[in-house]
Amino acid sequence: MCRIVTSLCIAMLGTSVLLATGVAQTASKSAPASAEPISGKQLYTSYCALCHGADGKGGGPFSAQLKTWPPDLTQLAKNNHGTFPEMRVTETVDGEFAKPAHGSSEMPIWGPVFRSMAHGHKDSSQVRIESLVKYLESIQEK
């Protein structure tokens, strides 16, 4: 099981690095400085869908290999008394406030990846995180 998780982490890290390099090269070659930031849906597809599924319900291709089934991201508001937990989702995606004392998390934290893609410009990583969180809010089931 440990080999599966390690392989999964290495694959996800490799994918992240490749995507970050490709996005950074594409942005620097073709996008003007005022270009729209990458959409939340694009970010979700690139970073989240492998585990959470294309529909956000937790049935991605890597789901079965995880110790804990990924949560249904379309139910976040419903499970929070009808209010989308924007701050909690932002903190989870960013990972800046992770509490290692509460055990390890199988979900990668994307804040450092997004910050490295922004070449040190924290505002750019925040734009990506906010875009992803807004997309997650948009897929909430009523």
Q: What is the DSSP string of 72-102?
A: -GGGTTGGGTTS--HHHHHHHHH-TT--GGG
Domain range annotation of the chain: 2-29+41-138
pLDDT tens digit string along 79-88? 999 999 999 9
More confident residue, 71 or 121: 71
This prediction has a pTM of 0.68
Residue 111: band (very low, low, confident or very high) from pLDDT cuts 50, 70, 90: confident
CA distance 135 to 81: 19
- Mean pLDDT (whole number) for 10-28: 47
Give pLDDT tens digits for 35-77. Answer: 556 899 999 999 999 999 999 999 999 999 988 899 999 999 9
pLDDT for the residue 115: 74
